[in-house]
Structure formats: C-alpha cells, structure tokens
C-alpha cells in the first residue's frame, strides 16, 4: 500500500556550516511536518561528528529520527579543513569549485547504492540533479542564500568578464531600486569567463529539478521572491528562516552551541535589557591580527557592552591590546569558537548585531527584530548588505570611508575610531539610526508571523511537502 510507505529523502548539504546548518534544520522540519518522510543527512566524514552531535541533541529528532549517511571525500592535495568548511581560508571560487568536485564521485556512489525516494541537494552540487534524473529520482535544489542575492548574481553573471573593466556594476531590470555596487565588493566568480558554461553548470540539471527551496522569507524580500518565482522554470518555495522555524517549534536550539554556551547566556542574563551589542562574523571569515586589534580597541572605546565571538581554534591572542581583558572585564565577553547565536540574538539584553552579513546571520538577526550594523567581508555578503541597508532599511553600514573588498588583501583596515563611533551611535535608539531600529523591530514581527500557523513560510513548506510526496508517489507508480 503506497499510503503506508515511509519516504526516504536524502538531504545533501555543501560542507560549510552556513550550508550544513540550514539544511539540517530543513531536514528536521520535513520530518516534523510529515511522519512518513524520513530524511537522511548525507555528509562527508569531516562533518559527521558535527551533524551527529547537533542532531543527537534535538528533541524532535529523537521522536522522528533524521538519519546520517557518510560518503567518502578524498583529501588529495587539499587541506583537511576543506572538507569541513569547504574552502579553508580561501574565498576564491576556484577553491570552492575544486572542493565541491572532490565530493562528486562519493555522491554518485551513494545515490546509486541506496536509490532514495527523493533528493534535496545544495545548489552548490548541480550535478546531483542530473544523477537523480538518470536514476528516476525526484530532486529539489536548496539555496542557503536569498532571492535578492540570487537575482543580482544571475544578472552580474550575464554581464560576465566585462564587469572587470569598470569600477561599478549597475543592475537594472529587477524590482525595487536600481542596484549599483563597486566591483570590488562583488564575489570573485562573477568575473570568470563563461562561468555558467563550465561543464558542471551547463548540465540540464537546472530543468531536471522540480523545485527550488530558498531559505528566505517573503516578508523580508517579497518583490524579489515574486521575481524569482516568475523567472524560475520549476516551483519555488520560500520556507525560511528554517533555523528560527525549528526553534519556534521547541527545537532545542541552545544545544547547538559549544562549551561556552551557558556561560554566554548567563552573562547576558546579568545585563540590562537592550544594552549589549552582539559581534560575530560567521563560521568562515577570519580577520588578520591587526584588524582584530583595532576591533578590540574600537569596542573598548565605544563604551558599550559587547559579546564578541572570535573564530578561535587557530587564532592566537597576539591581537589583544595590553591589559585589554582586565579593562573590559565588566562589560565585554569574548567567546572563542562557537556561540549559541540563535539564543543570543533572541535574548532581551541584545540591542544590536554587528555582522558580516552571512545570509543565515541576517535571517536570524531580522527574525529576532535586532537592528544590524554591517561589516561584510567576502562572497555575496556585500550584496546581502545592500539588501538590508539600501532596500529594506533594517541595518546601517559600519564604515563607508575606506576601500572595502571581497578580497582581503585589497580591503583597508577599519580604524578603531570609526568602529567606536559607529557602535556607540548605533546603540543610541533615539539617534540618527532610530528609523533603522524601528524597521528592524517591525520586520521581526513580520518574519515571525510568516513562520507561525497560516504564515507564508509555513504554507510554502506544506505546499513543498505535498508536491514532494506527489512526485515520489508518481515515480513509484510508474
Ligand atoms: N553560528 C553559530 N555560532 C557561531 C558562529 C555561527 O551558531 O559561533 C551559526 C549562525 O547562527 C548561522 C551560521 O552559523 O546559522 C553561520 O552562517 P552565516 O550564513 O551567517 O555565515 P557563514 O558562516 O556562512 O559565513
């Protein structure tokens, strides 16, 4: 009886945590919303531990277990961190491509061996759609970025190498204001000759999928979601922010953090409401010591309370100003490594978020209703900043005075005085940023209601689940 069948759905994330986490949350949402869907996270050995520990701690996944399958990843000629963060410290697209391609044979093997009922793959692995099509398995793409950055990047790719001849790129023809950005702020792959014509991208895979899941929310970027839907051959589902959706459904988000987590939250409990700026730059970007030093001094000189997460593992303390830790002890907390970001952003003590504009971070910040101060560093982060600051209006740039670039070697050091000024001004709710604070609060309400019963993200998820079940049923009946 087809109706009694358990559906085995493979979820295949790219290696970096900014991809792994939302796809794991998405798998959780699938299992929680349909008892017959059994998602399996398909990951490389280096990520198995991270995914196992975070899955193991989630209440819901004990009820509806999300399985884990590991496929081999040959690290020939690559550093070990390629397998866990995707690209190590490089932000070059050739390194990203290389890492992605190393995974292909393992993915092919595991799909052929297990022949799941459906596959949901990160859009970073477009060939999986072609493999699934050959095996007769329905396939969906998952994008862990938004409709706005996707549309902008598609437009830029059409301009191609000629972009590199100019100082600025202008994107017109999209809804909303004309978008004009310095080319230095664009992801490097958009300048590559024939990027989309490379064999791995020129597969028929873009039409092989029956839909595109985007981890965004219509309430954040409605016009761009509509435009994306219009230009898409297949279905589009805007189901995000998936992490916040999971947490709203009693998913135990706090468990995701590292050892420092309870510390962090206890520290916040002792601070006044709306008195702390949260400072974090995601899971992949690193600062040089000189910049860390300026940031430390800037935070001190701002006179504000701050909770600062520093990517710890291989970062020594040579950046730390003499006597700094003692001087800031009463009002600053430094977390080295992994912090429980979702729980921190939701804490009443947080007034603002200084962020690198990674897509997940901005989703989490907007959903929490927290205004953001932006400091993008690489990839599509400057494009995300553009959306927040110039289109939506729930964020302000930290510094516009110097040269900024997605290439670390070309960006200027942000001086401590600029950091101190920007932070102290931004923490003032009645000051020049009052409309930004106001917009952020409003948006928080909009986004949280999208994920409640009857909201847009919830109904997109239901539509997705019923389309997915239909696609699997019709394959079974063939
Ligand atoms: N994150 C976290 N604790 C940390 C650093 C990151 O929980 O100390 C989470 C964060 O909440 C987000 C993800 O890791 O969900 C980072 O993704 P994002 O797209 O913001 O940045 P990326 O790491 O991809 O640059």
Instruction: Please state, in angstroms and rounded to a whole number, the distance separating the CA atoms of residues 43 and 46.
Output: 8
Of 61-65, 317-321, 359-363, which has the strongest mean pLDDT? 359-363
* Alpha-helical segments (H) within 249-389: 261-269, 289-302, 324-328, 341-345, 359-367, 381-386
Q: Is 260 in the pocket of ligand 1 (CB under 6 A)?
A: no
Using an 8 Å Cβ cutoff, are 26 and 242 in contact?
A: yes
- Would you tell me the crossing angle of helices 45-56 and 17-33 to the nearest 10 degrees? 50
4-41, pLDDT tens digit by residue? 789 999 999 998 889 999 999 999 899 989 989 999 99
For residues 432-458, average pLDDT? 96
Conformation bin of residue 304: beta by default, left when phi > 0, alpha when psi is -120 to 50: beta
Enumerate the β-bridge partners of residue 122.
Answer: 142
The predicted pLDDT at position 76 comes to: 67
Of 59-68, 204-213, 269-278, which has the strongest mean pLDDT? 269-278
For residues 156-175, average pLDDT? 86
Q: Is 149 in the pocket of ligand 1 (CB under 6 A)?
A: no
Could you say which of 19, 293, 347, 356 is catalytic? 19
Instruction: Please state, in angstroms and rounded to a whole number, the distance separating the CA atoms of residues 28 and 47.
Output: 17
The predicted pLDDT at position 197 comes to: 63
Residue 255 has pLDDT above 60, yes or no: no
Could you say which of 122, 208, 356, 437 is catalytic? 122
Closest CA to 354 of 287, 404, 427: 427
Instruction: Please state, in angstroms and rounded to a whole number, the distance separating the CA atoms of residues 391 and 394.
Output: 9
Residue 296 has pLDDT above 70, yes or no: yes
- Would you tell me the crossing angle of helices 147-159 and 218-230 to the nearest 10 degrees? 40
Q: Picking from 194-198, 229-233, 256-260, 282-286, which range would have the lowest pLDDT averaged per residue? A: 256-260
The predicted pLDDT at position 245 comes to: 81
Sign of the C-alpha dihedral computed for residues 203, 22, 374 and 404 taken in this order:
negative
Q: Picking from 9-18, 148-157, 259-268, 285-294, which range would have the lowest pLDDT averaged per residue? A: 259-268
Instruction: Please state, in angstroms and rounded to a whole number, the distance separating the CA atoms of residues 5 and 376.
Output: 46
- Residue 8: how many other CB atoms lie within 10 Å: 16
Radius of gyration of the chain measured on its C-alpha atoms? 22
For the chain, what percent of residues have pLDDT higher than 90?
65
Using an 8 Å Cβ cutoff, are 440 and 370 in contact?
A: yes
Mutate to test the pocket of ligand 1, among 252, 309, 361 (most ligand atoms within 8 A of CB): 361
Q: Is 338 in the pocket of ligand 1 (CB under 6 A)?
A: yes
Enumerate the β-bridge partners of residue 42.
Answer: 69
Residue 63 has pLDDT above 90, yes or no: no
Mutate to test the pocket of ligand 1, among 360, 365, 370, 383 (most ligand atoms within 8 A of CB): 360
Q: Picking from 11-20, 50-59, 103-112, which range would have the lowest pLDDT averaged per residue? A: 50-59
Using an 8 Å Cβ cutoff, are 147 and 221 in contact?
A: yes
- pLDDT category at 429 given cuts 50, 70, 90 is confident
The predicted pLDDT at position 465 comes to: 98
What interface predicted TM-score (ipTM) does this complex get? 1.00
Q: Picking from 14-23, 108-117, 372-381, 444-453, which range would have the lowest pLDDT averaged per residue? A: 14-23
Residue 478 has pLDDT above 80, yes or no: no
3-state helix, strand and coil shares in percent for the chain, rounded to the nearest 5: 50, 15, 35
Instruction: Please state, in angstroms and rounded to a whole number, the distance separating the CA atoms of residues 139 and 159.
Output: 30
- pLDDT category at 336 given cuts 50, 70, 90 is confident
121-150, pLDDT tens digit by residue? 999 998 999 999 999 999 999 999 999 999
Tell me, yes or no, if 122 is annotated catalytic. Answer: yes
The encoded tokens of residue 364 equal 């989490």
The predicted pLDDT at position 261 comes to: 63
For residues 324-350, average pLDDT? 93
For residues 274-302, average pLDDT? 94
Using an 8 Å Cβ cutoff, are 392 and 220 in contact?
A: yes
**Tell me, what DSSP letter sits at residue 411?**
S
Mutate to test the pocket of ligand 1, among 51, 340, 341, 381 (most ligand atoms within 8 A of CB): 341
Place of tokens 């080295």: 336
The predicted pLDDT at position 165 comes to: 83
The predicted pLDDT at position 61 comes to: 45
Residue 253 has pLDDT above 60, yes or no: no
The predicted pLDDT at position 159 comes to: 82
- Residue 270: how many other CB atoms lie within 10 Å: 7
CA of 360 to the centre of ligand 1 (A): 6
187-229, pLDDT tens digit by residue? 888 877 666 666 556 555 567 789 999 999 999 999 999 999 9
**Tell me, what DSSP letter sits at residue 166?**
S
CA of 199 to the centre of ligand 1 (A): 31
Closest CA to 192 of 135, 237, 153, 142: 153
The predicted pLDDT at position 134 comes to: 92
356-370, pLDDT tens digit by residue? 999 999 999 999 999
- pLDDT category at 302 given cuts 50, 70, 90 is very high
- pLDDT category at 60 given cuts 50, 70, 90 is very low
Q: What is the mean pLDDT of the chain?
A: 88
């Amino acid at each position: 009886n087809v109706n009694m069948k358990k559906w085995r759905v493979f979820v295949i994330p790219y290696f970096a945590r900014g991809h792994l986490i939302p796809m794991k949350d998405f798998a959780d949402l699938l299992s929680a919303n349909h008892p017959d869907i059994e998602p399996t996270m398909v990951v490389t050995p280096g990520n198995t531990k991270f995914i196992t520990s975070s899955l193991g701690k989630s209440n819901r996944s004990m009820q509806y277990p999300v399985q884990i399958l590991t496929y081999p990843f040959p690290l020939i000629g690559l550093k070990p961190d390629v397998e866990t963060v995707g690209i190590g410290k490089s932000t070059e697209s050739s390194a990203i491509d290389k890492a992605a391609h190393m995974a292909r044979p393992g993915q092919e093997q595991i799909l052929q061996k297990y022949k799941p009922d459906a596959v949901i793959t990160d859009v970073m692995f477009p060939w999986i759609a072609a493999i699934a099509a050959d095996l007769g398995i329905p396939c969906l793409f998952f994008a862990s970025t938004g409709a706005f950055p996707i549309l902008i990047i598609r437009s830029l790719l059409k301009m191609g190498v000629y972009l590199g001849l100019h100082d600025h790129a202008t994107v017109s023809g999209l809804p909303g204001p004309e978008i004009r950005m310095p080319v230095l702020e664009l992801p490097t792959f958009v300048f590559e000759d024939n990027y989309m014509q490379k064999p791995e991208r020129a597969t028929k895979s873009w039409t092989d999928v029956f839909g595109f899941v985007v981890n965004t929310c219509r309430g954040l970027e409605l016009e761009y979601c509509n435009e994306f839907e219009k230009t898409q051959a297949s279905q589009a589902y805007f189901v995000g922010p998936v992490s916040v959706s999971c947490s709203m459904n009693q998913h135990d988000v706090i468990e995701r953090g590292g050892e420092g987590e309870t510390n962090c939250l206890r520290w916040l409990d002792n601070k006044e409401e709306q008195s702390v700026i949260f400072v974090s730059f995601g899971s992949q970007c690193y600062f040089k010591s000189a910049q860390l030093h300026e940031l430390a001094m800037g935070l001190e000189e701002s006179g504000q309370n701050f909770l600062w997460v520093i990517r710890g593992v291989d970062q020594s303390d040579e950046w730390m100003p003499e006597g700094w830790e003692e001087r800031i002890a009463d009002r600053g907390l430094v977390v080295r490594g992994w912090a429980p970001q979702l729980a921190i952003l939701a804490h009443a003590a947080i007034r603002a978020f200084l962020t690198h504009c990674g897509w997940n971070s901005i989703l989490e910040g907007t959903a929490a209703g927290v205004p953001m101060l932006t400091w993008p560093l690489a990839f599509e982060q400057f494009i995300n900043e553009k959306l927040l600051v110039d289109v939506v209006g729930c964020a302000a740039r930290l510094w516009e005075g110097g040269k900024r670039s997605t290439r670390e070697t070309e960006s200027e050091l942000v001086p401590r005085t600029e950091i101190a000024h920007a932070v102290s001004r931004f923490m003032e709710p009645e000051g020049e940023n009052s409309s930004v604070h106001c917009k952020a609060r409003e948006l928080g309400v909009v986004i949280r209601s999208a994920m409640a019963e009857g909201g847009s993200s919830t109904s997109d998820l239901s539509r997705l689940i019923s389309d997915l079940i239909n696609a699997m049923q019709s394959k079974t009946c063939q």
